[in-house]
Structure 1
């Protein structure tokens, strides 16, 4: 890898990113206003969110960097961005939860350690990721969530008004066996994780790269967009040391810091733990499952009330009630088909019994008339002389 060329590419990408952030900051603020005033209020009513869930969702929406990353990922098209954020918000409220401990797969170096562009450095052992169990994958979501919180805290504590929008991943390929890679995990990462955390990677440095991975990478890079391929580099340890300097790397990666496992991880700090414990009071442990963690289940905060239940104050329309506050009932969507169905049910309740009785009466009368005709024909047939016909 040509370190000078790589650095120029990274600096160019970073400058464009910062310029886009400043140019679209007003659009981001407008999106946040729409999300707070319209989308979040609708979600609160539809799902009957508790105060804690509402505050948690509002805090996520208030993160300007996160909303900008969604807007940039969807090419600054407002409608697409709002739809993606709404979908992600529902996913977060129904699937994401905080565990006592995050996954050990990700290890972030504490500030002020960063790359030359001011971005946090996150280390990942790829062999552990692609062969891990479900519980570890569940913890990976928590680590990513805490990484977002860490980026937000860096922006809140910044005194030079610089916004940290991305981080740099240092991926160690040592011990990776292509035969042991679980393709389902890769699929889960691409479909479930990446769309919910877009644009967080500023660069990926793959260490211990050898010719055995060349064929695999030649296939993978054909499947990835060019913008993603441009962020992936394969430096040697010396080249990485020249880029980041020894004061920003652990000793087991050629730096002057302590070994990686002895360096404090802000994703597992006491502040993050206390934050997670406060938020997790409304959540429960996920049920055991044997599949991949496409979702992490929690106890529902609301219960649906049937449209025509006597307990539904909005009779005819679906409604939801909060479990913690059962007196708080919120009306669902008002659809024409619900109205027509309700009117049909009410009409049948009012006239159904009479209609059934009338039908039974008509059937009995019809059967009796048919029987009377048969008897009359038989009597007349016996009484009349042979050769005569009935009038």
Structure 2
């Protein structure tokens, strides 16, 4: 795991070099968006001044625009399109009265801040509160990074006792459509702890569809390895276990945290199942990777033929079953 810290240090250094190299291009993108994109969207969609103020502050965040620029292959056209989509998402909340107890933030300067996510107590009835809290936290972390200068934060993902079905069918599609477009590549590294063999199947799927750049920032650690190699990423103390407490974001150290966990509201209705959204999301990710692959451009005609043959076989098979039933 010492190699993981060295790898992250090299990645951070490379990102800083890229940010310096593309500083002028990012500035041009910001000026273009402020002068043309924001006024055009406000006029076409009749958006209010509150949206304009937030949009201008969001575009003024050089770190976010650089991450978006890099994610889109340093293409100005693609970046402006992605920025347009991000600005049209629902405005983040400035205040959150009910927070989910499974999410917390710790600050350990000079290291990046750490987002702690414990999925042990994520239930269908609390999923809505979990989403709101996570989106709220991402916006606060973006503001913190814009002020302090780092390009990303660390995330400790605790899978102990998590319900695999809820994670796949509900969380992943929502994260891909609501969080990732607005906060691209803001998570510099994800440390997964308390994982078991049950997640082997999910990991084998994600490893095939997720970009290599994202996979290189995921590390599987034991709690002991986390304490040894990344002590600044340690979760809250055992006094608040097993449920994490969510601190006031104005508090700089975890020692000043609240003395009791904040309970989430139980009034949220159970979310509707989104298995179809998961299939669509994975298909889009896979389709994006295949379109950019050299082998697919060369052999895609064979892939379409095989797909048509498979559909023909499936239709004929269903027809034979219907005849037998009659």
Alignment TM-score > 0.5, same fold: yes
Is the CA contact 1:101–1:139 (under 8 Å) kept in the aligned structure 2? no
- 1:142: which partner in 2? 136
User: Residue by residue, what CA displacement relative to the aligned partner does 1:92-148 show, whole Å, maximum 9, x if unpaired?
Assistant: 45xx444433643431113xx05xx72111100134457443243233222222221
Residue among 53, 59, 62 paired with 1:64? 62
- 2:119: which partner in 1? 126
Q: How far apart in 1 are the matches of 2:251 and 2:49? A: 26
User: Residue by residue, what CA displacement relative to the aligned partner does 1:225-281 show, whole Å, maximum 9, x if unpaired?
Assistant: 111111111112221112223x6634647xxxx7577877353769xxxxxxxxxxx
Closer, same or farther in 2 for the Cα pair 1:64/1:235, shift >3 Å?
A: same
Q: Does 1:217 align with 2:219?
A: no
Q: How far apart in 2 are the matches of 1:178 and 1:25? A: 42
- 1:336: which partner in 2? none
Is the CA contact 2:127–2:271 (under 8 Å) kept in the aligned structure 1? no
Q: How far apart in 2 are the matches of 1:198 and 1:27? A: 18
Closer, same or farther in 2 for the Cα pair 1:63/1:251, shift >3 Å?
A: closer
Relative contact order: is structure 1 or structure 2 higher (C-alpha 8 Å, sep ≥ 6)? 2
- 2:285: which partner in 1? none
TM-score (norm 2): 0.69
1:196 is displaced (CA, Å) by: 2.0
Closer, same or farther in 2 for the Cα pair 1:233/1:42, shift >3 Å?
A: same
List aligned pairs for 1:42-191, cutoff 5 A.
42-92=40-90, 96-101=92-97, 103-104=99-100, 105-110=102-107, 113-114=108-109, 118-129=111-122, 131=124, 132-153=126-147, 155=148, 163-191=149-177
Is the CA contact 2:118–2:244 (under 8 Å) kept in the aligned structure 1? no
SS at match of 2:188: strand
Residue among 249, 253, 257 paired with 1:267? 249
- 1:329: which partner in 2? none
Closer, same or farther in 2 for the Cα pair 1:29/1:51, shift >3 Å?
A: same
Closer, same or farther in 2 for the Cα pair 1:227/1:70, shift >3 Å?
A: same
SS at match of 2:181: helix
1:288 is displaced (CA, Å) by: 8.3
Q: How far apart in 1 are the matches of 2:190 and 2:95? A: 27
- 1:14: which partner in 2? 12
User: Residue by residue, what CA displacement relative to the aligned partner does 1:198-233 show, whole Å, maximum 9, x if unpaired?
Assistant: 111111101112233233322221221111111111
Is the CA contact 2:152–2:188 (under 8 Å) kept in the aligned structure 1? yes
Is the CA contact 2:85–2:181 (under 8 Å) kept in the aligned structure 1? no
1:64 is displaced (CA, Å) by: 0.7
Q: How far apart in 2 are the matches of 1:228 and 1:6? A: 14
Closer, same or farther in 2 for the Cα pair 1:232/1:248, shift >3 Å?
A: closer
Closer, same or farther in 2 for the Cα pair 1:172/1:65, shift >3 Å?
A: same
Q: How far apart in 1 are the matches of 2:77 and 2:165? A: 42
Unaligned 5+ segments in structure 2 are: 253-267, 275-326
What is the aligned residue count? 256
Larger Rg: 1
Q: How far apart in 1 are the matches of 2:39 and 2:58? A: 14
Measured on the aligned residues, the alpha-carbon RMSD in Å equals 3.0
Q: How far apart in 2 are the matches of 1:38 and 1:103? A: 37
SS at match of 2:111: coil
Q: How far apart in 2 are the matches of 1:251 and 1:138? A: 21
Unaligned 5+ segments in structure 1 are: 156-162, 271-286, 294-391
Closer, same or farther in 2 for the Cα pair 1:268/1:134, shift >3 Å?
A: farther
1:172 is displaced (CA, Å) by: 0.7
SS at match of 2:249: helix
